[in-house]
A and B are shown apart, each in its own frame.
Chain A
Amino acid sequence: MAKVKVYVTFKDGVLDPQGKTVKNALDKMGYKNIEEVRIGKFIELETKNGAGPSLKKEIDEICDKLLANPNIEQYRFEIE
């Protein structure tokens, strides 16, 4: 069994209304040091088989097809 941690975030240049709202809240709370907030998704996958050589390709495929929308999002993942 392997554990895969997938991080999906907005591409640069794509407006993130949630991040913007959280940034405004932090401003109001007095955290002036925070320049920007971007909110993404964290997805955990567990595999049946261990981390073999084909796993990376499989996760790429899953991300491209379903977990991320390439029009607005990018992803990266870690295999444990």
Chain B
Amino acid sequence: MIKFGVITFPGSNCDKDCLWAVKDVLGHKADFIWHEDGKIMKYDVIIIAGGFSYGDYLRAGSIARFAPVMEGIQGFAAKKNKYIIGICNGFQILLEAGLLPGAMLTNSSLKFICKYVNLTAENGTSPFTNMIPKGRVLRMPIAHQEGNYFCDDKALNSLIKSGRVAFRYSSPSGKPSAESNPNGALYNIAGITNKAGNVLGMMPHPERSMIKELGSEDGRLIFESVVNYIKKS
């Protein structure tokens, strides 16, 4: 049985939603992992949940990356068949930890943005997107102030060429455009994966779009993709 672990930092506020998403909605085994705990190898998938870890002081995610649990995360990411999903603050932490390339700038509007956005999945075969039908536009909420993804030209080209741009902000019909970009992110990037393909960072919240009563069930596709990928491998 596939086992999920959800990391809780001081200041995390989406950890309960993430646990609910994979445990109650999808029926998988899942535990919370405290930020001081180093024993994470028993899990198949680690979710670094959103929130304001350590108050997001200095830069979002910059302090959390030095938490004891993050030492284990580096080793976890280097293992085959282990997967990490960083959502919102979790994505920021993965960037600060160097597990994903680039950095987050303040939203171009300078405002905290909390709303539904549309996303296209750029790569239909990755561990995190293989259950998303081609051309399907996903609807999910964002809730952040630092989601304006930035990297240099070389890193961006490498991301695009190697199919590591996981999600892009798009119009309802699936066209990435300036109007559909909520935060100024480079190339409308909403999510990326690492070179090995087993680490995903994304700003939108799949755990907040799991049942139709919440306005969208599209978040399921991401968790279902990783489960499907593990079962097949």
Contacts and interface: CB of A to CB of B under 8 A. Distances in A.
Interface string B126-147: 0000000000000000000000
Contact of B62 (A14, A18, A21, A66): A66
A51 interface: no
Interface string A1-36: 000000000000011111001000000000000000
A71 B150 contact: yes
A37 interface: no
A17 B150 contact: no
Interface size bracket, B side: 20 to 34
Contact of A14 (B59, B101, B105, B109): B105
Contacts of A18: 106, 110
Interface of A: 14-18, 21, 66-67, 69, 71-72
A52 B188 CA distance: 47
Q: Which of A16, A18, A71 has the most CB of B within 10 A?
A: A71
Contacts of A15: 105, 108, 148, 150, 184
A18 B110 CA distance: 7
B102 interface: yes
A16 B103 CA distance: 13
Interface of A is mostly: loop
7 contacts: A15-B150, A16-B105, A17-B184, A71-B101, A71-B102, A71-B150, A72-B105
B15 interface: no
Nearest to B101: A71
Interface in B89-125: 95-96, 101-103, 105-110
Given A15-B108, A72-B150, 16 more contacts: A14-B150, A15-B150, A15-B184, A17-B105, A17-B106, A17-B107, A17-B109, A17-B110, A17-B148, A21-B110, A66-B63, A69-B103, A71-B101, A71-B102, A71-B152, A72-B105
Contacts of B101: 71
B151 interface: yes
Interface string B60-74: 001100100000000
Interface string B179-217: 000001000000000000000000000000000000000
Contacts of A16: 105
Nearest to B155: A71
Nearest to B95: A71
Contacts of B105: 14-17, 72
- Give me the 3 closest cross-chain CB pairs, A-B, nearest first: A71-B103, A72-B103, A17-B108
A41 to B, nearest CB: 8
A54 B17 CA distance: 47
Contact of B96 (A21, A67, A69): A69
